[in-house]
């Protein structure tokens, strides 16, 4: 039996509509959080940024605010993240930077670097990560976190990346910040979270990594492999391209060997740059200042 051309076109049109509807439905109903292979996934639609801020201090050039915002709960317990926001005075529509401290480092300790960067003309948001300073909560070790992951819970290592993503959301809504011009930086463990967050959130202009490296987890059949690779920056850093990856590292770093940082850097795609600070130990040092200022300027010029 012959099918009329008009009928055939109608059938093909209906099939096309159904295919489009299927993919739209799949996208809309995609979980907010899931593991895709050996990588974590967080939806770019993270809802409204619920935050409160109040002026804490004011200098001749900066306004410094205390800020807190809601993030994803851990094991059913509410998570409120506390931070400092540094804003240049008398400037509007400034670029913004999320700055993540190293493991166990408070926002107060990170405030020196945050204020240096803000003096260059940028809004800088730095936070107390979970279990640190004002941000209360449990921060389990890797073995316990892995056990939670096996039980189907969202592990704290993943939630720490989410907190960086939520920091982006908050900074995007702050009056005076250019929401289309936000980057992320971090020191040590904070930089590991920053790499993964930059790979997930494509609106970050790029990432600056200070004294950090990946874990160099190799693919294997071990049950723990998906968890370890899901928190390994080596597994994400190539996904940041074509946005910038800048890494700064001290030659005398005894916490994260410079060779490890160089290996992680080798996995990144262009554009990228590696700066060696002679004689510097772990973390930011004054010898990095000129390079850091140039790198941040380059991020926001693109």
pTM score above 0.85: yes
pLDDT of residue 301: 80
Q: What is the mean pLDDT of each successive set of 10 residues along the chain, which is 302 residues long?
A: 60 62 46 90 93 96 98 93 96 95 97 98 97 93 94 95 98 96 98 98 98 92 84 98 98 98 98 98 98 97 68
Condensed to tens digits (0 to 9), the pLDDT of residues 139-182 reads 999 999 999 999 999 999 999 999 999 999 999 999 999 999 99
CA 108/CA 286 separation, integer angstroms: 18
What is the CATH number that goes with domain 52-301?
Answer: 3.40.50.1820
In the chain, where the domains are located: 52-301
């Amino acid at each position: 039996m012959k099918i009329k051309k008009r009928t055939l076109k109608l059938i093909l049109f209906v099939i096309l509509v159904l295919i489009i509807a299927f993919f739209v439905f799949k996208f809309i109903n995609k979980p907010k959080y899931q593991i895709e292979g050996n990588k974590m996934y967080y939806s770019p639609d993270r809802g409204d940024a619920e935050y409160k801020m109040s002026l804490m201090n004011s200098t001749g050039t900066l306004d410094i605010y205390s800020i807190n915002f809601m993030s994803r709960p851990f094991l059913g317990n509410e998570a409120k993240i506390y931070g400092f926001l540094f804003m240049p005075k008398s400037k509007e529509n400034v670029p913004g930077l999320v700055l993540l401290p190293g493991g166990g480092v408070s926002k107060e300790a990170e405030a020196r670097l945050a204020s240096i960067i803000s003096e260059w003309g940028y809004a800088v948001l730095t936070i107390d990560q979970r279990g640190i300073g004002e941000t209360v909560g449990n921060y389990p070790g890797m073995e316990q976190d892995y056990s939670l992951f096996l039980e189907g819970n969202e592990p704290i290592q993943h939630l720490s990346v989410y907190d960086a993503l939520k920091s982006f959301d908050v900074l995007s809504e702050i009056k005076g910040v250019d929401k289309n011009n936000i980057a992320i930086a971090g020191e040590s463990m904070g930089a590991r979270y920053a790499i993964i967050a930059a790979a997930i959130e494509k609106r970050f202009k790029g990432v600056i990594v200070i004294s950090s490296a990946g874990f160099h987890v190799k693919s294997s059949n071990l049950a723990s492999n998906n968890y370890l690779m899901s928190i390994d920056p080596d597994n994400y850093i190539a996904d940041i391209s074509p946005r910038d990856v800048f890494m700064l590292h001290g030659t005398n770093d005894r916490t994260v060997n410079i060779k490890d940082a160089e290996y992680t850097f080798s996995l990144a795609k262009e554009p990228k740059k590696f700066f060696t600070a002679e004689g510097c130990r772990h973390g930011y040092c004054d010898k990095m200042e000129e390079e850091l200022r140039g790198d941040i300027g380059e991020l926001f010029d693109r």
